[in-house]
Amino acid sequence: MAGCLPQPRGWAQYRSWPSSDRCDARSERPTGTGACRDREGCADPAARDGVFIHISHGREDPHRVLMALNMATMMSEDRDVAVYFDIDGVNVVLADAPDLTYAQFPSSKTQIATLLSKGVPLMACPGCLTAAGKSAADLAPGIQLADKQKFFSFTNGRILTLDY
């Protein structure tokens, strides 16, 4: 299979899919625009793409927080998802955090529970917790301390990042 490229949804609309997405054998990084994970230059055809959702706001902006959590829930239906809370976002995932509400969105605690029940990793920045005077012991059940390896290992496909 020349190029061994994953085909995006609606791929038939493209006349030619780039063939320059081979991995550099030294770095295992793509040399083109596609996703490569092995030294032969072929992405796993069964790999799902992932969505990394970054939440840096807290109770001061419930619209951002709830939109991000809502997007994570929607994307988790057919994508691998990881959610990362940093800066003021760590305050959303503390055990004693208020349940945020805004407009038509489900509340923060409802959405967090839904994501955890789906196995979506929810990670808090350890440095931001420290800056807020908190520790891992202050996190709500199911919330993990962020680990840089999990930023890349939650999916085998390409990673799209959404910042809120």
Please indicate whether residue 62 or residue 8 has the higher confidence score (pLDDT): 62
- Ramachandran quadrant class, 28 (left: phi over 0; alpha: psi -120 to 50; beta: rest): left
Q: How far is CA 112 from the centre of its chain?
A: 14
Please, which pLDDT band fits residue 150 given cuts at 50, 70 and 90? Answer: confident
Segment 153-160 shows an average pLDDT of 91
Pick the closest to residue 47 from 36, 58, 62, 63 (CA basis).
36
| pLDDT over 70 at 131, yes or no | yes
Taking the CA atoms of residue 51, residue 119, residue 124 and residue 71 in that order, the dihedral angle to the nearest 10 degrees is 40
The predicted structure's pLDDT at residue 45: 57
